[in-house]
């Protein structure tokens, strides 16, 4: 609780709220247009003395944590971390050694210094002038170059290395930051990025965590990205999302492109609700990150065969995460940047509204070039489509897509449903891949000290079981407790099946500390937070949909529910922190 209070005391709610709306001082308070709903008369009030906010129009309100949680679509731990980073307050973190934490901090500082070096190289050197001319030739304005902090890596073996050497930074540390590579001789290193325009990759909170480089000297590969480092993992960040998340939230959807120049060209043309997957296959983590801000994506990869294939492969990821998706393939094999430069903004906007729904694109690509009049071929195509649809977590959506697929491919719906086995074919659609840490620890405590069973179950709402990997185990435990009888472990193993039984056995055999009622309550609290945050994400999707539909009354009702959820999460997080849990 001390850390939370420290962050709350350091954070200035007027400063934070001022990021989301223009505030004007009235007496001892500040007012502005509400950042949570559309209005013409300011009804959003911030009290600097009490460090609280409230909107008299839609009813939302709270402290600096709830403000960041709502606007950034973050859970409490992430909001706490976001504010702590902003105000330079160190947070205790479990699972990382002091050495690992120090390395993270060092790599982050190196990235910031490298960014400054690349920026200076672009604007203050002769080589940088050529790079700047290249960017302008690509149609990028000075404003966009400045906003996204583009830079240049000199075409030399050790320009960056020498820069850091003069600062006393070891080459071994630079290698861990992904900025240099080892040479052929022991102790020899050279710059990873040479003769390349540099596109900094920022975290959601705006910190430089990696870099991408486009060669100006016909090097291979044409585009080169940072490797995985202590602060950057490929496939976990959408390029530009730190700058476009509010526009995405407002639009209720976002355009997904492959690369840096596609992103920058669309952004400059006024399509602010855009993000890029950095040339890698779209990952579940990236989709989950985007879902914080909008429930729908339009995948607009390159129009060549490789881009079409990448778009096709993105569909199962969107389906599995429950994200509504469409696909836009531009004519002539063009990528978004090339299309905009050739045909202009209006032509692109016209095509954007004609994006093909994800299911239709999945079917079209699956049947392309196939002899659907041959039963065996048709069956194979159907099964490949079903394998994707079975991963959809929402049973209603899955059922509707099955109906449409049967109609499109002229198959009896009952036959298609007979082939579909979502629970068996796609366990990930029903349950997460593994136990949550709190979920696993709670099972360990229960099996180590069965005497705590009554206390644990009394505080464990059955609604919080939904979606847990261990849900079948808990159902059996609850049922046996109600019937006042113990179930032998072999019977439980048989009831839950081999895969879950193996995972339970692995959890119970792990070395863990002694069981206690206090730790069990911490676990229950963590699980409820997880459950409420999942509910909050679903609610945000509903809000975005109703905002698009212009349903003001429904939006206000949903915002009230959202506010209540956030207050509950804040209360639970505070309780967990008081109990010694991780913030």
Q: Which tens digit of pLDDT belongs to each residue from 218-260?
A: 889 999 999 999 999 888 899 999 999 989 988 999 999 999 9
Q: Which residues pair with 94 in a beta bridge?
A: none
Average pLDDT over residues 36-62: 86
**Are 248 and 273 in contact, with CB atoms under 8 Å apart?**
yes
The residue behind tokens 């729904």 is 357
Residue 512 to residue 510: CA distance in whole angstroms = 6
How high is the pLDDT of residue 570? 78
Reported as a pLDDT band with limits 50, 70 and 90, residue 385 is very high
The DSSP letter of residue 204 is: T
Q: What is the pTM for the complete model shown?
A: 0.68
**Which of residues 376 and 459 earns the better pLDDT score?**
376
Q: Do residues 52 and 61 touch, judged by C-beta distance below 8 A? A: yes
pLDDT of residue 518: 85
Q: How far apart are CA 48 and CA 30, in angstroms?
A: 8
477: helix, strand or coil: helix
The better pLDDT of the pair 531, 42 is held by 42
205 has a pLDDT exceeding 90: no
Return the exposure string of 199-211: e unless at least 16 CB atoms fall within 10 Å of the residue's CB, then b: bbbbbbeebbbbb
pLDDT-derived band at 459 (thresholds 50, 70, 90) equals confident
| pLDDT, mean of residues 546-559 | 77
| Tokens standing for residue 47 | 């009290």
- The mean pLDDT value for 63-74 works out to 83
Task: Classify 57 as helix, strand or coil.
Answer: coil
Q: What percentage of residues in the chain have a pLDDT greater than 70?
A: 94
CB–CB of 256/263 below 8 Å?
Answer: no
Q: Are 46 and 27 in contact (CB under 8 A)?
A: no
DSSP state of 281: P
Q: How deeply is 126 buried, as exposed, middle or buried, from its count of CB atoms within 10 A (0-12, 13-18, 19+)?
A: exposed
> Is residue 442 a contact partner of residue 468, using CB atoms and an 8 Å limit?
no
Q: Classify 429 as helix, strand or coil.
A: helix
Token pair 């609700």 is found at 273
Specify the residue for token string 């879902």. 291
Residue 326's beta-bridge partner residues?
298, 357
Nearest to 113 by CA among 154, 153, 164, 189: 164
- Token pair recorded at residue 297: 């994506």
Q: Is the pLDDT of residue 323 over 60?
A: yes
Query: What residues contact residue 99 under an 8 Å CB cut-off, 6+ apart?
Result: none
Residue 362: which of 322, 335, 403, 325 has the closest Cα?
A: 325
80: tokens are: 């706490």
- Tokens 């909107």, residue? 55
Asked if omega into 304 is within 30° of 0 (cis), the reply is: no
Q: Would strands 324-327 and 296-299 be described as parallel, antiparallel, or unpaired?
A: parallel
Instruction: Say if residue 580's pLDDT is above 60.
Output: no
Which residue, among 420, 540, 542, has the nearest Cα to 74 in the 3D structure? Answer: 540
Fold of 98-225: DNA primase DNAg catalytic core, N-terminal domain (3.90.980)
Which band of pLDDT confidence, cut at 50, 70 and 90, is reported for residue 511?
Answer: low
Q: What is the mean pLDDT of residues 87-115?
A: 81
pLDDT in tens, 88-99: 777 766 545 678
Structure tokens at 236: 């976990």
What is the pLDDT at residue 506?
75
Give percent above pLDDT 90 in the chain.
Answer: 48
Task: Assess if CATH 1.10.3470 describes domain 437-578.
Answer: no
Contacts of 245 (CB under 8 A, 6+ apart): 72, 73, 204, 292, 293
- Are residues 118 and 211 in contact, defined by beta-carbon separation less than 8 angstroms? yes
* Domain boundaries defined on the chain: 2-86, 98-225, 241-362, 369-430, 437-578
pLDDT per position as a tens digit, 137-184: 999 999 999 999 999 999 999 999 999 999 999 999 999 999 999 998
Which CATH number is associated with domain 241-362? 3.40.1360.10
Q: Is the pLDDT of residue 423 over 50?
A: no
Instruction: Please measure the distance between the N-terminal and C-terminal CA atoms of the chain and give it in whole angstroms.
Output: 8
Given a cut of 60, whether residue 427 has pLDDT beyond it is no
Top-confidence residue, 296 or 462: 296
User: What was the pLDDT predicted at 93?
Assistant: 61
* pLDDT beyond 60 at 30: yes
For residue 240, what pLDDT is reported? 97
Lowest mean pLDDT among 76-80, 122-126, 240-244, 400-404: 76-80
- Residue 575: the pLDDT is 60
Locus of tokens 């050279």: 190
List, as one string, the DSSP characters of 248-267: HHHHTEEEEESSHHHHHHHH
Answer yes or no: are the C-beta atoms of 107 and 53 closer than 8 Å.
no
- For residue 227, what are the contacts with CB-CB under 8 A and spacing of at least 6? 178, 234
Partners of 356 in the beta sheet? 327
Tell me which of 289 and 351 has the higher pLDDT: 351
Q: Please state the rounded mean pLDDT for residues 498-523.
A: 79
Distance CA 115, CA 23 (A): 32
The CATH number of 2-86 is 3.90.580.10
- Output the pLDDT for position 142: 96
Task: Quote the CA–CA distance of 368 and 337 in Å, as a whole number.
Answer: 27
CA 60 – CA 564 distance, rounded (Å):
9
């Amino acid at each position: 609780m001390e850390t939370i209070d420290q962050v709350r005391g350091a954070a200035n709610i007027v400063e934070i709220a001022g990021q989301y709306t223009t505030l004007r001082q009235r007496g001892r308070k500040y007012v502005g247009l509400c950042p949570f709903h559309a209005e013409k008369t300011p009804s959003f009030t911030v009290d600097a003395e009490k460090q609280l906010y409230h909107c008299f129009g839609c009813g939302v309100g709270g402290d600096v944590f709830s403000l960041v949680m709502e606007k950034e679509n973050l859970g409490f731990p992430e909001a706490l971390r976001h504010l702590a980073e902003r105000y330079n307050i160190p947070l205790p973190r479990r699972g990382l050694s002091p050495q690992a934490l120090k390395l993270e901090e060092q790599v982050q500082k190196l990235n910031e210094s490298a960014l400054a070096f690349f920026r200076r190289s672009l604007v203050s050197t002769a080589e940088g002038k050529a790079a700047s001319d290249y960017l302008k030739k690509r149609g990028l304005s000075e404003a966009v170059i400045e906003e996204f902090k583009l830079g240049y890596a000199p075409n030399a073996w050790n320009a960056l290395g020498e820069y850091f050497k003069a600062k006393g930074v070891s080459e071994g540390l630079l290698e861990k930051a992904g900025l240099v590579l080892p040479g052929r001789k022991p102790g020899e290193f050279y710059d990873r990025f040479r003769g390349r325009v540099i596109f900094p990759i920022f975290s959601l909170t705006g910190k430089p965590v990696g870099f991408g480089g486009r060669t100006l000297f016909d090097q291979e590969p044409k585009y080169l990205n940072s490797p995985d480092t202590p602060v950057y993992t490929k496939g976990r960040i959408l390029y530009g999302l730190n700058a476009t998340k509010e526009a995405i939230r407002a639009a209720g959807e976002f355009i997904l492109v492959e690369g840096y120049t596609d992103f920058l060209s669309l952004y400059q043309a006024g399509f602010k609700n855009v993000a890029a997957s950095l040339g890698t296959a779209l990952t579940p983590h990236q989709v989950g990150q985007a879902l914080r801000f909008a429930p729908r994506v339009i995948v607009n990869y390159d129009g060549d065969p490789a881009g079409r294939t990448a778009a096709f492969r993105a569909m199962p990821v969107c389906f599995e995460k429950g994200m509504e998706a469409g696909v836009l393939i531009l004519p002539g094999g063009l990528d978004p940047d090339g299309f905009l430069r050739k045909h202009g903004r209006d032509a692109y906007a016209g095509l954007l509204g004609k994006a093909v729904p994800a299911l239709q694109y999945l079917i079209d690509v699956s049947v392309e070039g196939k002899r659907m009049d041959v039963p065996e071929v048709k069956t194979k195509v159907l099964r490949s489509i079903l394998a994707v649809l079975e991963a959809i977590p929402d049973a209603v959506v899955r059922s509707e897509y099955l109906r449409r697929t049967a109609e499109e491919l002229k198959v009896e719906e009952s036959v298609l449903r007979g082939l579909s086995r979502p629970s068996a074919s796609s366990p990930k659609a029903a349950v997460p891949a593994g136990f949550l840490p709190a979920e696993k620890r709670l099972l360990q405590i229960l099996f180590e000290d069965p005497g705590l069973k009554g206390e644990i179950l009394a505080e464990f709402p059955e609604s919080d079981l939904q979606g847990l990997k261990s849900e079948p185990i808990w159902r059996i435990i609850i049922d046996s407790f109600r019937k006042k009888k113990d179930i032998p472990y072999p019977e439980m193993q048989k009831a839950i099946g081999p895969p879950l039984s193996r995972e339970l056995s692995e959890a119970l055999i792990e070395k863990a500390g002694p069981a206690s009622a206090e730790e069990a309550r911490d676990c229950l609290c963590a699980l409820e937070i997880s459950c409420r945050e999942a509910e909050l994400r679903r609610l945000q999707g509903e809000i975005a949909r109703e905002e698009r539909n212009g349903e003001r009354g429904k939006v206000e009702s949903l915002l009230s529910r959202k506010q209540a959820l956030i207050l509950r999460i804040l209360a639970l997080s505070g309780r967990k922190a008081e109990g010694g849990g991780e913030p």
